[in-house]
Structures are given as structure tokens and as C-alpha cells.
A = this chain, B = another copy of it.
Amino acid sequence: MTVQEYMLSLGVTAKAAAAAARRASTEEKNAALLEIARAIRTHTDVIVAANKVDLERAAAAGLDSASLDRLALNELALENIISGIEQIVALPDPVGQMSDRVIRPNGLKISKMRVPIGVIGMIYESRPNVTIDAAGLCLKSGNAVILRGGSESIESNRALYRCIYEGLENSALDTGIIQLVDTVDRQAVGELLTMSGYVDLIIPRGGKGLIQRISAETKIAVLKHLDGVCHVFIDAEADLGMAHTIAMNAKTQRYATCNTMETLLVDREVANCVLPDLAKALSAEGVELRVCQETATILNGEIACIEATDADWREEYNAPILSIKICSGLDDAIDHISTFGSNHTDSIVTENVSKADRFLREIDSSSVMVNTSTRFADGFEYGLGAEIGISTDKLHARGPVGLEGLTSQKFIVHGEGQIR
């Protein structure tokens, strides 16, 4: 069988399984999820051993330690994965939820029913836990999924998939609902991206390069997660203690996450009060500061900083680097974010309700916040239970995407013989 034929066979199986998944009851889906969890618990040793094979090969190939960390699966990581499944079981089933019911003058009853999307193609890099998270979310939302993990984690993914398969076999559901692309041949991804007759949505999880390449290559809808150039704006009417705490947290709690602050905006009126202490604290954490001229003047050579260029305002550092700019009020801050931001997550610190409302309304980002840290932009923090990804697109779903983002709505019409 060629790679093309193999991928097509996965597509045909997935499409048939999607019809079965759409029909599955909440009880059947939850029972299958718990069977998968049970299989993972039963086969923990096998999974850890398979993961060791991946880790050894990766170490021999000279993978850096951060990448090895992401790849590693120990018993604790597997317990977390199992508890993730149990959380998905506990979430309400979005499929079949009815809303927007109206009765028209002719007596027709119109409403909307939430329904699965169909077949999801999930393409991800090294983390093997995505295999289970994605499988669980797709199953619970009534979709079929084709999983394509990174080649570094192929043995871990195979071991995890055997648990998924065993769980599905012990359930009332079709095993075709969850499939793993069981080859490291790179052509498999290319084939998947052409299968628009079989795949309804591609979800890539990985670096910006991966997502751009996938978007460029396919006519299938892609749930895109591109830049996270997130801002915190300290308004003139901010509680300055709170502003300090939020800015520190938004930058330093983790550096490599998409919802980390990359640019701090400060109203000129409070810049003198807030910036020296904040810059000092950031510097003490090892954060490099790239600042506008006015900020440099305020810091007055006492805190190390370099002058920002226009490129800095557009940059997602994913590193202990922060750009800082002084603004002349809310309008200026909104303008800056609209010009240089990436529509991901932005926060204002202010005690003024009107300014907060204007910021919430006018900033066109997937998450807009008042008096809190951008680091909260996350499916789990939002109570979505788990996320399949974060969307920076403006259609279908924006921000963290959980079960609901894996569904759509169809119209339901009840009549008693009405004709037009």
C-alpha cells in the first residue's frame, strides 16, 4: 500500500466512523473514555518503556533538553493524562444541545441543534500527551479524528494508541473514530492536507512555521494559532500596586507561552511612578528591556535597557525580553495595540469603568481583560475543561477552543404540514 492509499484508507474509515460518532450517546462516549483511561493505567509500564525508546533515539540525535522534557512520559505524566480524560468525562456533552428556539407566525418551530463537525485532522509535534487530549476531546464532541504526531514520539504515540484502540474495542463505539497515522513518512501529512472530501477541519499544534506551512498547503479549514503579541496597558487611573503585580506575572510567570505579555504600555501620567520600580523588578528577574525613548529617560541609566525599534512592537519574543512604551492615554494605547498587536490577548489595568468598557469593546483580540494577567487566557483557566488549541482566527472560534469549538450548529424545523 502506498502512503497515498494508506492515508485515503484512514479517510474513508474516519468518514464512516464520523456518522457513528454523531449518533453516539453521552453515556456511550463517556464509557469509552473511561475504558481508554483504564487501558492507559493497565499498560503504564508498556507506555513508559516505549517512551524510553523515543527518548533514547532523541537524545542520540542530539535533541535539546527542553524538547526532551516535552517528549518525556513518566508515571506522573500518565496520571495527569488520565485525570485529563476524567475531566473530559465530567464536562457536559455539547452535542444535541438546543438553543435559539422561535415559533414563527406560520407555526413553524425553528431552533438550533449543536452537532459535531465531522472528521478532524490533528497534526502536532513532540508532546505525546496531545495524542490522548485530542482523542478525548474529539470523541466527546462526537467527531472522528485522525492523529498525526511528531516522528520523535512515534513509539510513545503507538503505545498510547494501542490503549485508545483497546478502550474503543471495550466500548459500544466504532474503533474507526480515533485513528493514528502509523508512519513517520512525511508524505502522510501532505496527503492528509489534500483529503478535503474526508477531513472537515485541520488542527495543527506546534510552532508558527508548522501552522503557516499547513495553511498554505491545504484547502481544508485550519484552526490557526499564530502570533501571541500580548499587551498590558497600565492606565492613568490604575491601582499601581495591582499594575505592578499583574505586569510581573504576565511577563515572568512563564516566558515561552503564547499568552505571555510581550509589550507593556504605560500611560504617561503614571509612568514616572510605576516604571522605575517595575523595570528594576523585571531586570532582577533577568528580563531584558527594550524601551521607547521616553522610558529610557525615566529609567535614567539606572536600569539596563536598550532602545526599541519598530520591529520590537511586532515581536513575539517567547523569551525574557519585554518591550515598553509610554502612551498618551487610552486612545493611544488602543491605536498601538490595533497597529502592532496580533489579536490574541490584551489586558488593561484601570479603576475607571468607562475606560475598561471602551478597552473591552474596541480591542479586537480573542481575549480582552481588565485588571488581570494575560496568562489566564487558557481553556482550563476559562473553565472549558481542556483545550484542543487556541484560535487566532476571527471566524468559527476565537481564543481557547474546547468541546464547543469542535461543534457547529444546524437548524431544526418542526412543522405540522406547513407549505410555502
Contacts and interface: CB of A to CB of B under 8 A. Distances in A.
Nearest to A343: B410
Interface in A240-273: 242, 245-246, 248-249, 253
Interface stretch (A60-68, A286-294, A411-419): A411-419
Contact of A417 (B201, B368, B372): B372
Given A253-B420, A381-B420, A418-B376, A117 B395 contact: yes
A83 interface: no
Contacts of A364: 19, 22, 115, 118, 410
Of listed A249, A365, A383, residue having the most chain B CB within 10 A? A383
B108 A372 contact: yes
Contacts of A418: 371-373, 376
Interface string A339-379: 00000000100000000000011101111111111011100
Contact of A411 (B115, B361, B367, B395): B367
Contact of A370 (B373, B413, B419): B413
A96 B357 CA distance: 11
B395 A408 contact: yes
Interface string A182-213: 00000000000000000011000000000000
Contacts of A409: 398
Contact of A367 (B365, B370, B410): B410
Contact size range, A: 35 or more
Contact of A361 (B23, B200, B246): B23
Nearest to A347: B413
A311 interface: no
A42 to B, nearest CB: 33
A200 B417 contact: no
A394 B104 contact: no
Closest 6 CB pairs of A and B: A372-B415, A249-B419, A242-B417, A369-B413, A396-B396, A367-B411
Given A108-B372, A394-B408, 6 more contacts: A96-B361, A113-B368, A249-B420, A364-B410, A369-B413, A371-B414
